[in-house]
Amino acid sequence: MLKLNNIQSFYGNIQALKGVSIEVSEGEIITLIGANGAGKTTTLMSISGVVPPRTGEIIFEGRPIHRMLPHEIVKLGICQVPEGRRIFPYLSVTENLDMGAFLRDDKPGIRQDLEYVFNLFPILAERRHQAGGTLSGGEQQMLAISRAIMARPRLLLMDEPSLGLAPKIVKQIFEIIKKINEENKVTIFLVEQNANMALKTAHRGYVMENGRITLADSATRLLSNDEVRKAYLGI
């Protein structure tokens, strides 16, 4: 479904990605783990067109997308849940969700998806008239995920969905990620520092260090890999 072919991405003169190759098949949850500053966010930004790669190519369903603009990439069905959630704080929960469906015009489908996300996160239904900025961190993350679902993506890029959340909420968020993948057939590209939860949720994983992929394997094998256990699982 998605293929990153030896991409190199920069911020001015600073090279953040030094030849990254990743493949994602339809229906998979893949996770990219690594330390702070490894280049995980930049990888997502390169896919979504915000930080286009200087060299290399990104192919989505057979079509090169690395020269396309972010809004053109969204239209292909690739949607990003950014780090730090970035919901609209002064808009209500419902208005935030409407923004997710901005590019759609199938009203019945939008209504159906609204019901779906309210079922997924009943707390959002309860708070539907409340301003997004007044929600707790966990609820804002739920809203950010729901807003992305409202775009009906086929590939969902998630940047650190567990960041700053209480362990109980983290567990709930990862369960929902699995559910979205299984029920809606949404392919998920998950960037995480919580390597343990990410590898327990994903089918396959990639380890990134200093702008390079250093390991790629099934999530189960990475969980029992000595290097990964020492560096990322604290075992």
Residues that bind ligand ATP (CB under 6 A): 11, 14, 16, 34, 36-42, 193
Strand partners, 5: 57
Which tokens hold the place of 4?
Answer: 């990153």
- Closer CB to ligand ATP, residue 93 or residue 197? 197
- Closer CB to ligand ATP, residue 36 or residue 105? 36
Q: How far apart are CA 55 and CA 166, in angstroms?
A: 39
Shortest reach from residue 90's CB to ligand ATP, in Å: 26
Shortest reach from residue 145's CB to ligand ATP, in Å: 18
Shortest reach from residue 229's CB to ligand ATP, in Å: 20
Direct distance between the N- and C-terminal alpha carbons of the chain, in angstroms, rounded to an integer:
34
Shortest reach from residue 35's CB to ligand ATP, in Å: 7
Which DSSP letter does residue 133 get?
A: G
Q: Which long-range contacts (CB under 8 A, 24 or more apart) does 178-181 make?
A: 178/29, 179/120, 180/120, 180/145, 180/149, 180/156, 181/27, 181/29
User: Cβ of 226: how many Cβ atoms within 10 Å?
Assistant: 8
Shortest reach from residue 124's CB to ligand ATP, in Å: 26
Pairing of β 204-209 and β 187-192 = unpaired
Q: How far apart are CA 52 and CA 91, in angstroms?
A: 30
- Closer CB to ligand ATP, residue 15 or residue 130? 15
- Closer CB to ligand ATP, residue 17 or residue 97? 17
- Closer CB to ligand ATP, residue 23 or residue 83? 83
